[in-house]
Amino acid sequence: MMAEAKAPSLLLWAMELPRGALGLGQFLWGRRKLAAAPRGDGRPILILPGLVNADRSNFAMRGYLNRLGYRAYGWGLGRNFGTRAIGPEGEKLFERISEIHDETGEKVTLIGVSLGGIMARMAAHRLPDLVREVITVSSPFAGSPRATNVWRAFEWLTGERIDDPRVKALAAEVARPLPVPATAIWSASDGLVNGAICREPGCRHIRVRSSHIGVQVRPEVLLAVAAVLGGE
């Protein structure tokens, strides 16, 4: 059962930084392959960063999707410190999605990395008329937070407690099947979150080989995102 999944091993955890650096090198050397992805259709895409990260962490993905022909946006809410960034009820994030929808006249595709993916799923549940689809990348939305090596850091950085009834209720909402198309990109060798809780039955999922750190710049991940957006 996904709820019984354990946190990744200490070895995988220890390898996160060197593997993350390797992923950056792969991005720099893989541009020709990335350029062969299907061209975009101009749809608006909002990319949500992971815990403690800001829009700068997703500059490679955002630039790549723009070059393919999409309209990729940063969330503009600073570093992701949970509700400190998006508001107690997510209202700042919802406002951002509404702004992009009003500006473009189109539903917004949400791509969320790690904690950003959890937030993307919450937004899709709350704003199904504004969200076109959701793509999560290494986002532990489908099981216990204790099946990660970052839940204590999450509590410290956000001021939220994973056993708080409000947090648990939100987690249950996020884990429910979405009212819009959803794809989960995950890795079995992730050193921070157990890949088993990054996907759900009934949700399309794509397995990649990647660390958690730097997952958003891995060519394999970027190509997977492009394939989903291109309808493959």
Tens digit of each residue's pLDDT (9 = 90 or more) over 167-186: 999 999 999 999 999 999 99
pLDDT classification of 232: cutoffs 50, 70, 90: low
Residues 167 and 136: their CA atoms lie apart, in Å, by 19
Q: Is the pLDDT of residue 101 over 70?
A: yes
Rounded percentage of the chain residues whose pLDDT exceeds 70: 96
Q: How far apart are CA 130 and CA 186, in angstroms?
A: 25
Q: What is the pLDDT of residues 192-217, one digit of tens each?
A: 999 999 998 778 999 999 999 999 99
The C-alpha atoms of residue 110 and residue 132 are separated, in whole angstroms, by 8
Three-class SS string for 58-88?
A: HHHHHHHHHHHCCEEEECCCCCECCHHHHCC
Give the residue extent of every domain in the chain.
Answer: 6-229
> Average pLDDT of 75-97?
96
**SS3 label, residue 176:** coil
Q: Does domain 6-229 have CATH number 3.40.50.1820?
A: yes
Distance between CA 168 and CA 48 in Å, rounded? 21
The reported pLDDT for the residue numbered 1 is: 37
